Structure 1
Amino acid sequence: MNNTSYKNLILPFSILLVGLVISIVIAIKLYKADLKVQQQELELKANDLKFNIQNRLNVFQQFSKSSASFFMSSDTITREEWKEFITYSQVNQNLKGFQGVAFIANVSAKHIDAHIARFINEFSTSYQVYPKSFTNQYTPILYIEPLDVKNTKAVGFNISSNPVMRKAIEEARDFNETVLTGKVTLIQDVENGDQIGSIIYSPVYKVNKTLNLKENKRDKIIGWSAISFRINDFIKDLVALKNLNQENSIQIKIYDGTLINEESLMYNSIAETNAYPTTTSLISFALPVELNRKTWTLLVTQPSIVFLESKSMILLLFGTILSFLLSYLVYTYQNTARIANEIAKKLTLDLSDKNKELINKNVLLNESYNRLEQAKEKAEARELQLKTIADNFVNGMIYQAVAIDENQRKFSYVSETVNKLYGCSVDDALNNPNLIYSKIHPDDKEKVLRSEREALRKMTVFNIETRIMNPDGSIRWSYLISKPRIISGLVCWDGLEIDITERKNIELELIEAKELAEESERLKSAFLANMSHEIRTPMNSILGFTELLMNDNLAYEKKKQYHEIVHNSGKRLMGLISDIIDISKIDSHQLNLHYTNFNLNKLIDNLYTQFKISPKLKNLELTSFKSLTDSASFINSDENRLVQVLSNLLENAMKFTLKGSITFGYQHTENELKFFVKDTGVGIKEQDLKLIFDRFGQSENHINAIEGTGLGLSISKGIVENLGGKIWVESKINQGSTFFFNIPHIKADSKEIDHIEKELVKIENWQTKTLLIAEDEESNFLYLEAILEEQNLTILHAQNGKEAVDLFKNNPVDMVLMDFNMPIMSGLEATEKIRKINQQVPIIALTAYVMAEDKNKALEVGCNGFLSKPIEKHQLLETINSFLA
């Protein structure tokens, strides 16, 4: 090879070398950018998973506190009441991944034998506390739900025998807060110890006790509510929900505490057999998950992108091939020119030789041309392949833009997917870049330009999330990422746009859900505080004045005054309990309506008479309005519920009307009755109108101004809606309020109403009758005896179900009043036994339970009637008279 041949190789080799260097540099930079994007995506997933774990722990904590409050709300909670509370709380839906919800009793060593004996009797099963290694104080699991095969093993387990659990319950007791245990094996999984779990404890104290000192808390602790869960069950649906599984090569670990070691490992989403090779380069994020005094460490790990498997490698291969092709083209061109020069120099040779040479040269030229055509076809195929990839980009587009000046851009390339994003063709976008740039949301445009200028100043990657106006006028979120480079003195941006609307919507929904949960929690706390005040106030009067009434030297007038105070406080407390029961019935869709025929005008007149003489009316003027005549005002509806709604609205009007008047009544159409209660009171602020019927959202005018729970309007709303109507309010500040509600106008037979109204309850002479009262509470029996002593009845008293059956067998009994909740033998069982002896004797159930299912149970076992405690005198006499008359 001569010197000319070597010179011809210099330029092609230089082009090849420069092309390879450029390809390598670009590939490395793209690889680093991919790594950064991978890190950002992993960090986002880690934070999202942390938020969901934290939220689930908060839900568990809130339910644990609610369970503790449930136990503190009553002196005695039975297993059935605990099960009913758990069922109504829908824990299977609200506590994802839990193992059991339990109550743990605090029993001193000297009382442990009595405790075991009591609950063996109550549970009617073999109940033992185990183990007994911790002798100062025992903390057995008393109730647990669901009471399945596994959870049954936990009943009676002494929590204090486990150091980790004992430490947790002592912290909960001493600091009066919910505590999460460390890494433990649940008693349900003792036989399968590889199941790691944790438990949340909330303390249960004696109510109305001072808890400001640690000693007070230890003295007043009666137990703990607990929620146990296996960590695998707790976390697996969150991992599946976020698609964080082994297919994405993402490993999730949770450690107990802040130290990351094998001892504290609680959860590993990838088994040891599937662990990453030791040579794998990993990206990791460690985030704390906290609950009060307890911290978990969430470790999210993913192998970093391998260069040989990345898009950067494809780009490097493409650049290498392109460099070789370009070098080869230059070499071929130079070689062709050299051959042509040699041919020109040999023109003087013999013509025949020259022709032969020309033929040979032409052959060589044709071969070179064919090779060039083949190389060109391969390059075009590669270009088409890259274009196909760009045009099929999902939820985004690839673009290249050139900066004309600081504020103007012109696209040199956009992928076909621009039509899906912006509703325009590629040619339209290339000819008119404003079709793209004008769609940036006006509020975001300055932020985008500022970020772009900063990236250009530093020659770094530009990335931002911004809002884009869709062709139909809606708004979407896009993620823009590009990098500037200088070409021929112009700034060129190579970038991607990705539609992230779905992800942003999820983020916004999560934020809104969090804010809504926090607001709901705040309103519920305020409501519970108000309810506590409303219960304590009458109870304080009852307890205080009953203690004063024990003084034998108290003057008669004082006794009369104190009796009246106790009576009024009891009525107030009873009203509150009735409101709570009504709310419970409304929420559980168990509000029973009793449709009867009655005279609506008479109902209005009775209410007018009742409230006209009320001392609460003070100097207010009360008027009523009726749009129907008396003969035409017979309707079919629930009379008691209608009176309840109107009474609530009238009571509410009297509370907030200091002077002026109150007007109530109704207007009618053929199909509708529209009731109203209008006052000239303080009025309601406009922003409070939408909250006025919410039990957790009283108006500011209600708060700290006038006593009351604020349940009346919420109950009224529930009743009206059950009657098929709706309720609303119109009001202006300092001008008064008008409450409206409507119900269907169902006309009744006036003759039937006349007949019903003329019937009078007549108490017969019961001197020859014998009444059996089965009641274990002495105070309740004395109350019934006091009512009936004027009726000359013979009264037999049984203190439990067994005594009731024995007395019935040995005495002629005309009627039985049966309490359901009694020791030794329940009222239900006693009723069944009496029915086997006598099918005809009337049996009336007496119970504090007021749900429809309780009434159905009473009727199923053979009761003829059902009276709810507290029992009104006239109600009792009328019921007895209906069977004995």
Structure 2
Amino acid sequence: MSDPVNQQRPIQGLRQLFSRRNGIAWAMLVFTLLVQLVVWHNLRSSENRAAEQQFEMLSEKVTEAIRKRLRDHEQILLGGAGLFDAVEQVTREQWHAYVERLLLPDRYPGIQGVGFTQAIPAASRDAHVARIRAQGFPDYDIYPPGQREFYTSIIFLEPFVGRNLAAFGYDMYSEPTRQRAMRRAAQLGETSITGKVTLMQETHGKVQAGVLLYVPVYQPGAPLLTPKQRMQALIGFVYSPYRVEDLMRGILRAADLPLALHIYASNGEQAEQLIYASRETVDPDNARYSQVQQLDLYGQTWTLRLDSLPEFDNRFHSNEALVMALGLGLSLLVFFLTSSLALRHNRAQAMAEEMTRHIRQSKHDLRLSEERLSLALKGSNDGLWDLDLEAGSMYASPRAWEMLGYRPNELTCDLKLWERLTVAEDLAQQKARLAQTMLSNVDHFTTELRLQHKHGHVVPVLLRGYIQRDPQGMAQRISGTLMDLTERKRVEQMKNDFVSTVSHELRTPLTSISGALGLIVGGALGSAPAPMQQMLEIAYRNSLRLGHLINDLLDMEKIAAGKMSFELREHSLGDLLEESLASNQALCEQHGIRCSLDHPVDVLVWVDGMRLQQVLGNFLSNAVKFTPQGGQIRLHSSLRGPRVRISVTDQGPGIPEAFRSRVFEKFAQADASDSRQKSGTGLGLAITKELIERMGGTVGFDCPPGQGTTFWCELPIQPSTSETDSRDDLPRILVVEDEPDTGRLLHMMLREGGYGVERVQSLHQAREKLAAGRYEAMTLDLHLPDGSGMQLIDELCEKPAMQNLPIVVISAAHQFDQAQFPERIVWLHKPITNAQLLTAVEKARSNVRQANGGST
């Protein structure tokens, strides 16, 4: 007997399947079926577009192949016409040698031959026949017979064997279709092609449609301005006959075209003008894709009809049934999975309760942690904050809220709170800085923020934090303190206001004083008594000293505050040195000192021209100060590897040994006593050092005993337009950067770090360089004119020889997905420093070595 319980189970399963509780599964089935229908429709539309594009491309390929082959044949005929132009009387042997040299069967399959038909007036017919018969052709005659005013006779046709023998002596001008093409060629002086004809060569086998191509040949030196003159000067025609099926087989033999092709020698699809039909044909009404094109060829119009064959259609539409079956199967699978989940409601509810209990426990633990942190820093005047990235929560101590004028937890505490409190114009920069910190391996960080107070004013704060990371280096929690910088910023503002007051209120009257004293000392107001003149000169010199002192103080203040701007660009060093010499020549002449320039090799440097002039002015004025009257100062330069040294040598007493370590310090002077002989602020060389270092250079001095002092600065040499270092002993780096100034800066930084550098500005150039040479590393900008840098990264990952190339991504993007980048890639955010770049390159190379087990 059967078990009643077992019989009831299938029935209960079916009832549950069609029950109301399973309605969501049925809804999902309907939804997925609709989605699959939309996907199938879009797929079919996409396949249709792809097929249409492929059909269009193949059609263009066929028409271009025909046009190119006929153009090549025209060149052959033009070459034959050139032979007649160059040789007064072309012999049969010369014509045979010319055609044999063309290798027609191998290079131009389908061409029947290359021949010459001579134009013969009626009066010269008999003499012409006699001459040809005398050449060894006793049976030669012009046919068809009959009296005509004008004859043409085929006298040369190579290869002169087989079918071509039947055309010897034929008067093509006697046949109307050929005559129209020949008359057009002769009167216009252009290449012409006939309509559909039957060639004289059709002596056996299948008769094919034929066409002929003509190039006229004229008497050398004859006038050819009008059609009548051309006809009078006509010698004959160089021509080629074509059996069209053989011609098309030669043109299309390399192309496996899944298309049916019909060619008509007319403006439309006229059946009587059909000159070619491919072996595989299809009813145009049944072809999925069809196209009719017209080809204008040497005075004739060909109509080409192209229809797709089933072979072509199957390339794009063969998978439609499979896609439908897969979509239906996927919909049924989703339906049964959804049913299974819906019918297990109790189990899902239990799981939800368990998850809720875990969430509550996590919140309890988080609250305890926040209390401990609050107690630990309760006595501190700084604010405390804590971001739990996993829980998505934020805590701020009462002091932190107080700084911004809020009560504790007055605002919603979440991970975006700091963005809402940050001053709007600073947000993008701070987010980029945070992203860079999160991607780096640092655990501690310090930064300044400007936060918005509840009452509207800005509160500057100092943020210190610690990042807790998991074993994979991903940040889990960030905690730190908040310090109010309002008072410090107020003091700095007072300092800046003071500097501004000095700049405007002190420099302006001082300029007037110096100018007035200069006019008086120069005698503009008449001569003054000698004692008064002496006092005025003292006042004038000291006003100038005071002006220099104020300028130096202001420059040092700008440098210290980071407000001194630099306009770096490419300069010719020779031009800068000549300009500096000219600017300081008057000062040298005033002190009776000669100044010379020695600059043997001109190079390019990447500097702020005005700041470099300031540096050279400091060097030269310092040299004038210590060189005795009648002495000489030398401004000279020399190459030091990839750098150029600019030097100023004086004839002074030199620098005391005890003072040499403090030469470039602020307010440092060798003689600091009240009775010192040489005046100065002690700031010029300190400013010079700061300016040169800001432009990527170094400064120093040489003081050999008894030979004066040479102050020098060294600057990197800017590469010429090649942007390439050719030394083979340097590790090579490829810089991929489309912005010229940034590219030159990276080039200079890496070259200073001891690398050989090559720079390109596009993906295409980068691919060529990587394929042609080997590089130790590559810097890459993500935004390039011909695509994204991510494309290049993906391509390198697919090539075994390139997938371990160290890469430093340098981009101005503020947001990015770290998961897109392989582990060997180091990311830098613009702007960058020299040290950051070199560190990133070494880190990328180290990552690759570690991934390869220590080998490179």
**TM-score class normalised by the smaller sequence:** 0.3 to 0.5
Rg larger in structure: 2
TM-score relative to the length of structure 2: 0.38
